[in-house]
Structure 1
């Protein structure tokens, strides 16, 4: 992995506590050897390491922009860990996920953001909409907001469905320039009235150096695990960088498209 000024901690999984919900990703609450609870995203579930890569890159971009994201850590799972698990499905998942996984600090007592109940500042709404357009996050809708209220602040979670271009690796060179039409379904779009100011501020933060530092955090073993693309780890890393830099270079155009979607909605 390339050197970076950014660094993630690594913890060891010591206990599987409980699954969070049913579904392809099957995240779970786990105990780690640092004494904290985490939400573990398994490399052996659903979209595998691609979901972990998206979670890592997008979560750290959000953090760089000053948004609240639970601490992201690497979580090491011993190959023998699943042998004593009585649930066969969980046992299979644990065995398939031996090695390096991803986990986020568990926000105990947090409640799901509900646009009907919870007010939101229009600047914050604009920041989140801008972020999700950048990372092509399809998973922040009224049906699944992927936002939590914790200690009276809004926290962003679950970015595994973002950067969906990497599930096909087709026309990669042009993927970043495509409008993100799914932004019309964003739960915060009606409140995103300060996109121009956010756009200028966020472009200044996400310098090429910052993007490279964040992408450099992705372990080589995750990048090479995808056998559908035979490029090297460094070549794939450059693809992610190019995708993000392309979208940043077109952010003025994208902001106008978001405005059109918002005007059609309100």
Structure 2
């Protein structure tokens, strides 16, 4: 079967509906010119564009692996959009986020996943733990699961805290070799008994071609805006591919860490 590289639509934000006051990034529910509602992640908030890059890469890797993830779209915010906003904090955020942002399709009526209410089988738990170990996603804990139940199905959201190596000087070679010690706090770790089987399946799916196709989605303007040690945009982009490809060659490192952490829990 011929591989079709992923593509993201671009929408224009037309209406600010309401802030979603979760954490420090102040995402918002907005309406776009396609008349759909989206959860908008602002380039001017929190960790800024790096969080958008992590959201984009981790979200599309999850989709490639078959997880249910809300559609990601690029969302353009016009410079005049925030002029009528009465809240000064939100107005500042809108002004700092003019241009291209990232948004997730809003799952109306979805409820936050609660491990005490919903049981996740061993395979799915192992798949999610494996994904989060690969992309170093620290934000899937009992306190903040970043998963939703929608139409009786589990959906993954909010991957902006992943790929944290890019907040530490882009020392990707060293970071790629490290186990993911934060897995000890993963909400699904107790059920993740099939990591080795999942590893074989997922590594066969995440070929270098697919990794590079996902990384190619990063807008050039985002990479140009970020302070980085790289002279060229493509060199900067290449680091994300190299980091993920390197981790895929060393999955036994994070699998052993996860298995050790799980044994300590039970």
Q: Fold-level match, TM-score > 0.5?
A: yes
Which residue in 1 is equivalent to 2:136?
136
Tell me, yes or no, if structure 1 residue 88 matches structure 2 residue 80. no
Q: CA deviation at 1:228?
A: 4.1
Deviations 1:58-108 (A, max 9, x none): 000000000010000000000111011111111111111000000000000
Q: How far apart, in 2, do the equivalents of 1:148 and 1:67 lie? A: 12
Residues 162-241 of structure 1 mapped to structure 2, 5 A cutoff: 162-241=162-241
Tell whether 2:128 aligns with 1:120: no
Aligned 8 A contact 2:19 2:27 in 1: yes
The secondary structure found in structure 2 opposite 1:137 is coil
How far is 1:230 from its partner?
Answer: 4.0
What displacement does 1:252 show? 2.2
- Cα deviations across residues 13-34 of structure 1 (Å, max 9, x unaligned)? 0000001114321100000010
Between the two proteins, the alignment pairs up a number of residues equal to 263
Partner of 2:55: 55
Q: CA separation in 2, counterparts of 1:60 and 1:231?
A: 27
Q: How far does residue 169 in structure 1 lie from its aligned partner after superposition?
A: 1.7
Is 2:150 the counterpart of 1:150? yes
Residue matched to 2:30: 30
User: Aligned with 1:200: secondary structure?
Assistant: helix
* SS of residue in 2 equivalent to 1:83: coil
Residue ranges of structure 2 left out of the alignment (5+ in a row): none
Q: Map 1:10-21; keep pairs closer than 5 Å.
A: 10-21=10-21
SS in 2 for 1:120: coil
Classify the secondary structure of the residue corresponding to 1:82: coil
Q: Deviations over 1:237-261 (max 9, x none)?
A: 1111111011100012321221111
CA RMSD of aligned residues (A): 1.1
Any idea what the Cα deviations from partners look like across 1:187-206, whole Å, max 9, x if unmatched? 00000011111000000000
In the alignment, is the contact (CA less than 8 A) between 2:54 and 2:160 conserved in 1?
yes
Q: Distance in 2 between matches of 1:108 and 1:138?
A: 26
* Unmatched runs of 5 consecutive residues or more in structure 1: none
SS in 1 for 2:62: helix
Seen in structure 2, the aligned counterparts of structure 1 residues 54 and 170 have a Cα distance that, compared at 3 Å, is closer
Q: Distance in 2 between matches of 1:10 and 1:189?
A: 36
Write the distance in 1 (CA, Å) between the matches of 2:5 and 2:142.
Answer: 37
1:106 aligns with 2:106: yes
1:257 aligns with 2:257: yes
**1:55-74 map, 5 Å:** 55-74=55-74
Give the stretch that moved more between structures: 249-258 or 84-93. 249-258
Output the CA distance in 2 between the equivalents of 1:252 and 1:227: 33
